[in-house]
Structure 1
Amino acid sequence: MFIPALYSLLFPIAVLLNSMAAWVSVHVPSTSTFMVYLKNLVLSDIIVTLMIPVEVFQELHTGPPAFHMFYCRYLSPVKYICMYISISLMGLISLDRFLKIVQPCGQTQCCQNLLFGRLISASIWVILIATTGLPTMVLTNRYPNVSNPVGSCMVYKGVQGVTLHEGVIITLNLYFWLVCVLVVVCYMCIGKAVVQSFRNSGSNNSQAKQKTKLRVFLVLVVFLVSFGPYHLVRIPYTFQQTKRVAFCRDEWSHYAKELGLFFATANICLDPILYFFLCREFSEKVKSMIKDAGDRMPKNWRSGTT
């Protein structure tokens, strides 16, 4: 019951934060590649948010076998696609920030063009769906000879499906660590460049320096804490599934994978916080929304009297 309880607690927070993020992204024009990536990230997070109740139902193992197979064949691949779309977009956002801050001349390059931003974002969706999502759905087509299969989705995969599953997991795991290196390098360079600019200008504004360091540190921590644990345990768990490697405590490997997956899902609640710190248009729109809501409240509510 522990994992379903965590998802149940996560859901209302995710709905609140991502509803706000969706409202802001609709009302903020796409004037930069950063906003294009951010809006695609919001869309990915909303899809994952809507899937949380299904995840809870699945984790409780109370649904019929037909639901379990439908989840394994269609819904689970969609969730993983959205996870790696988020990872890809966070890598693009890091590179975009790097080009604008560390390499200012990069603003005139094609990678800072709005059309390029839209094309690369659409390409990420298409590539991940075509190379991981659709093949997984097609090859998850085996009907096990048990009346109520629950637990691992591997029971629905034949030999080809198992081979594809292993290859996809290893490839995506390597892809994550490459993006992780990109994110770390970009934000370390950004932090160094901003601090150096303060020194060159002779500014003694320690508060601004600390604020800059906090932003860089926050992005790195969110990325690593959200996605790092899952990718540390995913490959050993997959080898256990596909090679039937016996461990003394197989259940602990499963729990570690599920907890890592929860941390990766919880990223949908952390992304809106990053938007607020990294995007001036986003933070200004949120502040304006809060101010307008306060202005519409009755005066006796604002003053705390009845």
Structure 2
Amino acid sequence: MAAWVSLRVRSTSTFMVYLKSLVLSDILETLMIPFDIYQTLHTRATAFHMFHCRFLGPIRYTCMYISISLTALISLDRFIKIVQPCGQTLCQNLRFGRLMSASIYVMLTATSCLPTMVLTNRRHNTSDPVSSCAVYKGAPGRHLHQTTLITLNLYFWLLCAMVVACYMGISRTVLQSFRNSGSSNSQAKQRTKLRVFLVLVVFLVSFSPYHLVRISYIFQQTSRVVSCADHWRTYAKGISLWIATTNVCLNPILYFFLCREFSEKLKSVIQGAGDCVLKNRSGGTAPKG
């Protein structure tokens, strides 16, 4: 429904451009989830596991980092519009927004997704089930895997710092405007705080646990030495990855609260569907008003 509504909302701002790009990455990541579940089963074929490690897994992780990048761009876009509401900077130009969205897709695909696909090229010689994708990588693939994971982890924390800084600036500007206006409307203040911190809370809750766990899991996955703590790291990584995946369910809530055009279009779709149901039940024209 989020995708259907976003296609019917015009791209009149950079925010809408980023939002539509975010919807696309969320859809692609959602489509990968059933394959992720299947490849964890002991009954799955080794050939499918290799196919998942080589193609589906990299696509899924690339989509996750695209979502992280676009969420950071949305935060920066909101910061610029609130701190500098008058005039239009380069960052608020529609062409710039489209260029940035396309650049994120191309950059992450070219630097993370495609090299992983190319270097995951070894066959597993036995029919025994395997759980790690590292068995399909040679020495260059393992080195690239470790380098990519470290780079993406640093990339996330840099974006995280930017998002926190943006919302600190936004909250300071909003609270100052309330003080200057002398407003005593507590409900308006609460709604404003919700809008300001909603993206920040969703961003930190969804992605921070995964990247904290990933720091120790990086070296365990690329090492040939097995220890008792490896199993706990694997479980922790799985749980934190599940938490990160819930972001695709939380993002539509952000669309509704942050984008007036999206929420109005969604309400009209729901109202139209309700009128259609009433019309079918009554066998005539739906009541107006």
Taking structure 2 as the reference length, the TM-score comes to 0.94
Question: Does the 8 A contact of 1:94 with 1:183 survive in 2?
Answer: yes
Please state how far the C-alpha of 1:51 moved relative to its aligned partner: 1.3
Give, as a single letter, the amino acid of the residue that structure 1 aligns with 2:71: M
- Cα gap change, 1:184 to 1:94, in 2 (>3 Å): same
2:169 alignment partner, one of 180, 184, 189: 189
1:25 aligns with 2:25: no
1:225 paired residue number? 205
1:259 paired residue number? 239
Separation in 1, partners of 2:106, 2:280: 53
Please state how far the C-alpha of 1:300 moved relative to its aligned partner: 10
1:178 aligns with 2:158: yes
Matching of residues 100-139 of structure 1 within 5 Å: 100-105=81-86, 107-139=87-119
1:63 paired residue number? 44
2:71 paired residue number? 90
1:49 alignment partner, one of 24, 27, 30: 30
What is the RMSD of the two structures over their aligned residues, measured on CA atoms? 1.6
Unaligned runs of 5+ in 2: 283-289
My pick for the range that moved more, 193-202 or 133-142, is: 193-202
Separation in 2, partners of 1:85, 1:70: 22
Give, as a single letter, the amino acid of the residue that structure 1 aligns with 2:16: M
1:148 paired residue number? 128
Separation in 2, partners of 1:245, 1:200: 62
Question: Does the 8 A contact of 1:64 with 1:148 survive in 2?
Answer: no
Residues 113-138 of structure 1 show CA distances to partners (whole Å, capped at 9, x for unaligned) of 10011011101100111111111000
Residues 222-279 of structure 1 show CA distances to partners (whole Å, capped at 9, x for unaligned) of 1111101110011211101213354433211001111111111110000000111111
1:77 aligns with 2:46: no
Separation in 1, partners of 2:228, 2:40: 23
Please state how far the C-alpha of 1:99 moved relative to its aligned partner: 0.3
My pick for the range that moved more, 189-198 or 250-259, is: 189-198
Please state how far the C-alpha of 1:61 moved relative to its aligned partner: 3.0
2:287 paired residue number? none
Separation in 2, partners of 1:218, 1:119: 26
1:272 alignment partner, one of 245, 248, 252: 252
- Cα gap change, 1:248 to 1:103, in 2 (>3 Å): same
Question: Does the 8 A contact of 1:162 with 1:242 survive in 2?
Answer: yes
Count of equivalent residues: 282
Question: Does the 8 A contact of 1:239 with 1:245 survive in 2?
Answer: no
Please state how far the C-alpha of 1:62 moved relative to its aligned partner: 1.9
Unaligned runs of 5+ in 1: 1-19
1:168 aligns with 2:153: no
2:222 alignment partner, one of 224, 242, 247: 242
Question: Does the 8 A contact of 1:37 with 1:93 survive in 2?
Answer: yes
Give, as a single letter, the amino acid of the residue that structure 2 aligns with 1:182: M
- Cα gap change, 1:131 to 1:300, in 2 (>3 Å): closer
Residues 157-179 of structure 1 show CA distances to partners (whole Å, capped at 9, x for unaligned) of 00000000000000000000011
Give, as a single letter, the amino acid of the residue that structure 2 aligns with 1:189: G
Question: Does the 8 A contact of 2:42 with 2:129 survive in 1?
Answer: no
SS of corresponding position for 1:30: coil
